[in-house]
Structure 1
């Protein structure tokens, strides 16, 4: 598949990691996605996409037009159509808040149709992006739409969350949350409440996700892997806790994950991280 990406211009880059256009025939149709430090917007220009929550009590979904996804604290599975034509946004964990106009906690571990957030907009957006032939032009159209929807005045507490969230991002989640609160001059409870409102999860949970994301991208599956050293480098000081979190986040033990990655290596440049993996 072809993956074309664009980092938006300021001020959108404070809230968005990148916009992307994905087209072509997938090598693997069904993918298993661990928690990653992102919220998402998808505008689907192709066939239906199927999604499954790893929580068996949640019914699967078939999505056709467009949908938002908040930060996920557990893995989910999705199935590409053939061929794929999809335009998406990787928001920073706190980045969806100034666009959605609702508490991020309402999007946590959920997929929500675009029209439920941006009322009666998805058809117009799909027509606009679908009318542009080039991927670059498509991303410019989507960037203009996002710019028009960015709240002029940040909601109360968002600057605090963005500042502390950026420290978690640059440190890959290893800065103690207590140190973040002390540096910001707020209580731990206040910081947790603001993160829950603007991200959907606590800063401790965000730190865990950043830490795990860094661990995943650091693993070279084609060479020997010393899991103890990998875990220690990523900030895990308890091997049992590392093994449990790895299984919770991926559905595999580290050994099983490594075997899967060796059978199905990540495509260079796609996706931009090594998190999503083929679902057997």
Structure 2
């Protein structure tokens, strides 16, 4: 399966990490996806994909056209069709808010059809994308559509500023210090994050910290989990072990064994965090 991605031009790059195309035969049909510091838009141009929540009380969903996913605080499983063709957008944790006219908290840990968010837009977008064969042109069309939808979100300046501090520090800055530096209370900062991200800044920091850890694993070399955990900001080994199992469904040893059995394709970013679901 081929992955082609690019960072959009300003001002979209302040809200979006990348726009990308996936196409071809997936090496692994079912992928276990841990929490990552992003929200998502998927525009599916191929056969339906199925998603499972790690919460067993949530029924699976077969999604044929397109869907939004807000920030996830737990893992989920995606099953690709035999042939994949989709365009995706990785929003920064705070990046979805200016593009949707609804509380982003309603998208947290959920998949929601695009037409439930962008009324009567999906067919038009998919028709445009279906007429182009080039991944570059498909990404250009999606970028242009997103640029036309970008709206000012009241209060996002504070969240954007603090979110960027969490991004560049990989979640290692104390939230209290960020609130003090911004001249606001911790409760006000948490309320703004819940409004524009769907989760608290402390939760965002945890996800950034975990992402730093998981993306630093080099499965081709011996792995010292204590050193990696400490470098990522985990100072309690028991807490690290619990969070790792909660986020991935595996112990660190089990996860490393999977990474070694199923090595990532060079230059294929989706393999950096998600792993085949056995």
**Alpha-carbon contact 2:43-2:86 (below 8 Å) kept:** yes
**Alpha-carbon contact 1:217-1:273 (below 8 Å) kept:** no
Note the residue ranges of structure 1 that are not aligned, 5 or more in a row.
Answer: none
Match of 2:224 in 1: 226
**Alpha-carbon contact 2:265-2:271 (below 8 Å) kept:** no
Partners of 1:155 and 1:84 in 2: CA distance: 34
Match of 1:240 in 2: 238
Partners of 2:234 and 2:8 in 1: CA distance: 34
User: In angstroms, what is the RMSD of aligned CA positions?
Assistant: 0.7
Partners of 1:5 and 1:272 in 2: CA distance: 11
Output aligned runs, 1:128-277, within 5 Å: 128-151=128-151, 154-272=152-270, 274-277=272-275
Partners of 1:203 and 1:267 in 2: CA distance: 33
Partners of 1:248 and 1:109 in 2: CA distance: 15
1:155 offset after TM fit, Å?
Answer: 2.0
Deviation per CA, 1:169-218, whole angstroms, max 9, x where unpaired?
A: 00000000001101110000000000001000000000000000000010
Deviation per CA, 1:15-68, whole angstroms, max 9, x where unpaired?
A: 000000110000000000000000000000000100000000000000000000
Partners of 1:156 and 1:183 in 2: CA distance: 20
Partners of 1:48 and 1:272 in 2: CA distance: 19
TM-score by length of 1: 0.98
TM-score by length of 2: 0.99
Deviation per CA, 1:120-178, whole angstroms, max 9, x where unpaired?
A: 11111000111111100010000011011111xx2221010000000000000000000
Partners of 1:210 and 1:58 in 2: CA distance: 25
SS in structure 2 of the partner of residue 156 of structure 1: coil
1:271 offset after TM fit, Å?
Answer: 2.3
Partners of 1:279 and 1:273 in 2: CA distance: 12
Partners of 2:68 and 2:201 in 1: CA distance: 21
Segments of 4+ moved more than 4 angstroms: none
Partners of 2:113 and 2:245 in 1: CA distance: 30
Match of 1:98 in 2: 98
Partners of 1:271 and 1:278 in 2: CA distance: 14
